[in-house]
Structure 1
Amino acid sequence: MTPQSTSGRLVAGLAAAALLAAGAAIAIGTAAPAHGGPARSTLVGGTLASGAPPAILSRGVISTLDIAPAPTAPRDRGGARTMRGTATPPAGPVVPVPPSQCPRLYNTTGCYGPPQINHAYGLDRLHRRGLTGKGRTIAIPICFHNPHLRKNVATYSRHWGLPPANLEVMQYGKVPTADPGDPGQAACAAEAAVDVQSVHAIAPAAKIIVVETGTDQTGGTVGLDELIGAIGWVTRHRKVDAVTASWGAFEANFPEQSGREGDYRLLTRLRGPLKAAHRRGTTLIASSGNRGPTGPNLAGTAFYTHPSVAWPASDPLVTAVGGTRVHLTDTGVRTAPDQVWDDEGGVATGAGPSAVFGRPAYQARLTSVVGERRGSVDVALNGSGKAREWFFSSYNPIAGQQPGWIRVAGTSIAAPKLAGIVALAAQKAGRPVGDIHRVLYSAPGSARLGLTDLTTGTNTANGVTGFQARRGYDLPSGVGTVRDAGRLVNALAH
């Protein structure tokens, strides 16, 4: 299959995508072959009666994990809610302001840009030494086509003094343009802009490939299988150092769709492209989600009353990235230790034990924490709604904000950061660094790896008891967060 450019003809009028934050479920329909070719139009792990797809497939719903809702507005002294931070935007154009001005303007304790984030993680020092990701490639699979992506990234780059992005857009299948009036499709388009800008700020010279996905072979749905298939496809056609994914489905969605408790074959039969990309030496990265230890059912009407983690983040082949809250000055200096992103009105970092995968070898010494299961997450970076970051997007699904400069939270701004760090390590090594679990788990929380341990916070949310931060490895923050990216890059490069 030959890669298509964005100049190719697009197909419109397909089913909507929806935010997981709004309780949406995911379409799981067709098997994505390991070689990365187009998916076949057959139901995975089941038989279609009279050729009719189940309701979840006919709806064609996708979950993008991570654009968290905006904070509530401040109140005046009389108790009335002010206009700032509500569905009514503040007067005048929104432009990035230093974090010290955010409490007054946006009722949040921080709204950070690359100057603060890069200084906090020690990335600015690497950039000054010439480690910028030059010669390395990051791929971002995402649903729908964003026709404004290049202009949005250019606006972001000019504002923050970044070089123009080395951006390529490819299409896997027939890809419709996102409808700005559809919240789910707008979420996909905004996610593309956010992910690209996140990577570009960390690795400004790296090549970024956005792989847009569209309909399945029946022409009716946009599904998880297309997104997973795109990973195998792009890593087959391009030399890719890392793939970052800010979307997924909760493990509990799969047996619910199959109608058989404990049946995860709908999930495991989708793993072929991940296995193929992993064999090619690509570092696989995914965000862990924003709903704490659980997630919504397929109908989006209720949360599961038991823990459930997001996949592909929970896959042992994937590095799962959770969310923290940073406390930074206008120059990026920490004023307090980072903490686990805990409950902010139903949003918190995703984390917990996998119901699908057993404990991998790299977690062999962590039985006291993970038991016999794969523990997710592996590492954590900023994602809290109280430590939002600035991005520029012509699409915006976030209530209370308008297209343009938006303040975004969620683990989807954390996962691309790690992909950027991997690009810096690959530049230093002169080769892909591949699976990074062995390095991360060699010394959890160790300053030798440029990490710092998180010991405060829990991801309890939505009526389900979560997991507490503790000394050493823990489920909501993994091996910790980045304190000195230079040391982490050195470790990954060796």
Structure 2
Amino acid sequence: MLLRKVAKISSCVGLVALGALAVNWNTTPAAPAHGVSPQILIGPQAVPMAAGSPAYGLFQCNVGLFEPDEACYDPYQMRHAYGVDNLISAGYDGTGQTIVIIDAFRYAALTTQVDYFSNFYGLPPSSAFLTQYTPDGVPPQNSGWAGEITLDVEWAHAIAPGAKVALVLAKSSSDNDILSAIQYAVDNNLGDVISMSFGENEGCLDPATVTAWHNVFAQATQKGMTLFASSGDQGASQQTCDGNSWTLAPSHPASDPLVSGVGGTELHAAHYCLASLGCNPATSPAAGTYSDEIAWNELLCADAACDLVESESTGGGFSVVFDAPPFQKSQVKKTKGRAVPDVAYNAAIYHGVLTRFQGQWNLFGGTSAGSPQWAAITAIADQVAGHRLGYLNKAFYQIGQTPPNYAPSFHDITSGNNSVLEVDASNTDVEVDGYAAGLGWDATTGLGSPKVDGIVGRLIALTSPGDGVSAIATSQPHGNGKKGFAGTKQAH
């Protein structure tokens, strides 16, 4: 397998921002801290095309002038790949809806980057859609979370350009501070759907902390808010509670049954076809035309000399804190625990989304990319329905039960796995065996990635206010036999 160098902005045990990847990182796990932190992955810088581009500009990775089997995607490609463009063409772009994004710390240059991104792609500026909230005081800047914040805002906006975005920033990455930010968003009913691109080993949380998070999610569900969380970037593994190694575990809050967990894929979709490069547009598929997907699992150089190698892969597995919910029992066999993820979205680094950050364009990957885009899709669905759809997990699995509903609604990803190779605190390899993709639901990509123009109508038909009420009644957490702590969330 080709080894690639990617910078990973990772933090200690706790919540990890699930999404952006960047170049050159230190893989030694930090000591555990009490808080939530991002786990974002930022890939290589994108090289612009000199000529022959659409008005908004193209990059070499948009047209196949990159290393073999590598690509990048702009908003128009992503919309087309998953069928969002058909709804936008019909007038459904999220207008009248609000996406709540929860992150930690802040990025002072955010609006500058977002406005550059928006102007480049012909989208409304930040003044038209973005409001930032700091309910517990203005937090300090943090380089690890800056990329996560940028990815979340730009790509929620790219998919639902008519929707408002309420960015709620916790004063730190501690579980308690992140929870306070979510509580503020729920108490003030800031939006229709909440995106959380972070996570941590659920087994490292004490029961009181898990219950506190679950109670806030129950309040959001009662108000008809939809909840999404990224499933993680270290495959079937999470850091051990001391931060020194890796163990088989799912990521919280994606493992909470009131939340829809978003796993990761590697999307293969059409490049832009330029006659100046010898491509014939008349015989080539439109840019972004869907080809196929596999479970996201990339092997990367973890240091400059490539002496250390690590995997980045879609999170997934089975909870020891939450029992298997009723909605999963028909399709997830032989498990007593809540299974993660529920759905999936492109998360690959070297098939990443173009993101404007720190004055340049980079490919961003990680499951953080999926949570805000699924939130944007839900905002569009809410607009089509004329009301909040609210809790979606029951409807997702109802769709998955029957081929006539499933095939037009989801891309079923059947290839790949989320077994990973990680490096512990002593620079020793740690292999964690994960799960394989297969027909229907699996613990790598859930039910699959969306066919948006097919799934929206079915979600509207199959959701009801009672879904959330019944989910709350059957989803209380229980002890896992371990004494944990209130930790930190990492960006995924």
Q: TM-score, normalised by structure 2?
A: 0.75
Worse overlay, 336-345 or 169-178 = 336-345
Name 2:327's counterpart in structure 1: 362
SS of match in other structure, 2:79: helix
Q: Equivalent residue of 1:470, what SS? A: coil
Q: Does 1:139 align with 2:104?
A: no
Check 1:167–1:425 CA distance in 2 against 1; reply closer, same or farther (3 A cut).
Answer: same
Secondary structure at the aligned position of 2:356 is classed as strand
Could you tell me whether the CA contact under 8 Å between 1:309 and 1:350 is conserved in 2? yes
Whole-Å separation in 2 of the counterparts to 1:281 and 1:293? 31
1:390 maps to which of 326, 330, 354: 354
Select 1:464's aligned residue among 432, 439, 442.
Answer: 432
Identify the match of residue 326 of structure 1 among 259, 264, 267: 267
Deviation at 1:385, TM superposition (A): 1.8
| Residue 62, structure 1, aligned to residue 31, structure 2 | no
Deviation at 1:334, TM superposition (A): 4.3
Instruction: Name structure 2 gaps, 5 residues minimum.
Output: 1-6, 17-29, 51-56, 272-285, 301-310, 422-430, 462-492
> 2: CA distance between counterparts of 1:27 and 1:113?
28
Aligned-partner Cα distance in 1 for 2:208–2:185:
25
1:26 and 2:14 are equivalent in the alignment: yes
Matched with 2:278 is none
8 Å CA contact 1:214, 1:226 repeated in 2 = yes
Matched, 1:170 2:170: no
Counterpart code for 2:14: I
Partner of 1:230: 181
Q: What is the CA–CA distance in structure 2 between the aligned matches of 1:147 and 1:364, rounded to whole Å?
A: 46
Partner SS, residue 317 of structure 1: coil
Cα 1:287–1:137 shift into 2, 3 Å: same
Do structure 1's residue 310 and structure 2's residue 269 form an aligned pair?
no
Measured in 2, the distance between the counterparts of 1:226 and 1:433 equals: 28
Which of 406, 409, 426 is equivalent to 2:382?
Answer: 426
Partner letter of residue 190 of structure 1? G
Query: Does 1:481 find its partner at 2:424?
Result: no
Equivalent residue, structure 2, for 1:454:
413
Deviation string 1:228-248 (CA, Å, 9 cap, x unpaired) is: 222221122134110000012
**1:244-283 superposed matches below 5 A:** 244-254=195-205, 264-283=207-226
1:89-108 correspondence runs (5 A): 97-101=59-63, 104=66
Q: 2:290 & 2:188 partners in 1: Cα distance?
A: 45
CA distance in 1, matches of 2:432, 2:15: 25
Gap change, CA 1:351 and 1:21, over 3 Å in 2: farther
> How many angstroms apart in 2 are the aligned matches of 1:393 and 1:25?
26
> Which one-letter code corresponds to 1:421 in the other structure?
I
| 1:375 pairs with 2:361 | no
Q: CA 1:99–1:249 in 2, change beyond 3 Å: closer, same or farther?
A: same
1:490 aligned partner: 457
Q: Distance in 1 between matches of 2:87 and 2:60?
A: 23
2: CA distance, partners of 1:412 / 1:143: 14
SS of 2:227's equivalent? strand
Look up the match of 1:293: 236
Q: Which residue of 2 aligns with 1:204?
A: 161
Contact map agreement 2:107 2:149 (CA 8 A) in 1: yes
Aligned residue in 2 for 1:110: 71
Task: Rate the CA distance shift 1:107–1:224 in 2: closer, same or farther, 3 A.
Answer: farther
Deviations 1:168-219 (A, max 9, x none): 11112023231xxxxxx2121221111011111111010100001105xxxx
Q: Which residue is equivalent to 1:404?
A: 360
In structure 2, what is the Cα distance between the partners aligned to 1:415 and 1:335? 20
Structural mapping, 1:74-93, within 5 Å: none
- What is the match of residue 117 of structure 2? 156
Cα distance in 2 for residues equivalent to 1:348 and 1:21: 15
Measured against aligned partners, the alpha-carbon deviations of 1:81-102 in whole angstroms (never above 9, x if no partner) come to xxx89xxx99x9xx85153556
Superposed displacement of residue 407, structure 1: 1.1
CA change 1:361–1:20 in 2 (3 A) is: farther
**Residues 413 and 438, structure 2, Cα contact 8 Å, conserved in 1:** yes
Shift of 1:301: 2.5
Q: Are residues 411 and 27 of structure 1, via their aligned partners in 2, closer, same or farther at CA, if it must alter by over 3 Å?
A: closer
Q: For 2:160 and 2:269, how far apart are their aligned partners in 1?
A: 21
CA distance in structure 1 between the aligned counterparts of 2:153 and 2:236, rounded to whole angstroms: 27
Structure 1 residue 192 corresponds to structure 2 residue 149? yes
More moved, 447-456 vs 150-159: 447-456
CA contact (8 A) 1:23 1:297 kept: no
The answer to whether the 8 Å contact 2:197/2:229 transfers is yes
Aligned CA RMSD, in angstroms, stands at 2.7
In 2, distance between residues paired with 1:308 and 1:373?
Answer: 12
Higher strand share: 2
The alpha carbon displacement at 1:56 in A equals 7.0
How far has the Cα of 1:344 moved from its partner? 2.5
Identity %: 29
CA distance in 2, matches of 1:310, 1:20: 18
Amino acid at match of 1:172: P
**Which stretch shows the higher mean deviation, 222-231 or 150-159?**
222-231
Structure 1 residue runs of 5 or longer lacking an equivalent are: 1-18, 29-54, 72-83, 179-184, 216-221, 255-262, 395-402
- Whole-angstrom distance in 2 between the partners of 1:232 and 1:293: 29
How far apart are residue 329 of structure 1 and its match?
1.5
**1:428 is paired with a residue of what secondary structure?**
helix
Q: Tell me the matched-pair count.
A: 398
Return the letter of the residue paired with 2:323. Answer: G
Aligned residue identity for 2:38: T
Deviation at 1:69, TM superposition (A): 5.3
